[in-house]
């Protein structure tokens, strides 16, 4: 292998490592066969998934003088599966996070 090819390969590996470490993989959620993804409204998610296991609402500052409505919904897709935390910002799904598996009755 030539020295130039080696340098390119190392640069590619380093770049991929940075990209993979910089942003964690987004979780996904399927409800009744429908994929739930960022951009959906709260109504659309509720229509696909039904009521969440838990809800929490608050107002968060973005920059001085600018606030957004934040709603977090927790879903348990099935037995022995990781819970999902859905974060809505101003009524739209912003992201889905993977939480721990439930404890107690589901173990």
Domain locations in the chain as residue ranges:
25-98
What would the pLDDT profile of 12-43 be if each residue is shown by its tens digit? 444 444 334 434 456 789 988 899 999 999 99
**Reported pTM:** 0.70
Position 10 scores a pLDDT of 42
Residue 104 pLDDT more than 90?
no
Burial class (CB in 10 A: 0-12, 13-18, 19+), 23: exposed
pLDDT value for 92: 98
More confident residue, 4 or 42: 42
Query: What pLDDT, on the 0 to 100 scale, is given for residue 77?
Result: 84
Q: Please give the Cα distance from 103 to 77 (Å, whole number).
A: 14
Residue partners of 72: CB distance under 8 A and separation at least 6: 55, 56, 57, 85, 86, 87, 88
Please give the CATH topology (third level) of the domain spanning 25-98. Beta-lactamase Inhibitory Protein; Chain:B, domain 1 (3.30.1450)
pLDDT computed for residue 80 by the predictor: 79
| CA atoms in the 13 A half-sphere facing the CB of 64 | 0
């Amino acid at each position: 292998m030539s020295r130039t090819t080696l340098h390119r390969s190392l640069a590619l590996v380093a770049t991929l490592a940075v990209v993979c470490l910089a942003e964690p993989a987004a979780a996904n959620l399927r409800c009744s066969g429908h994929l739930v993804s960022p951009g959906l409204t709260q109504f659309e998610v509720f229509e696909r998934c039904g009521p969440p296991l838990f809800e929490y609402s608050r107002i968060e500052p973005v920059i001085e003088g600018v606030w957004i409505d934040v709603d977090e919904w927790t879903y348990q897709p099935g037995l022995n599966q990781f819970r999902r935390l859905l974060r809505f910002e101003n009524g739209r799904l912003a992201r889905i996070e993977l939480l721990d598996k439930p404890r107690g009755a589901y173990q």
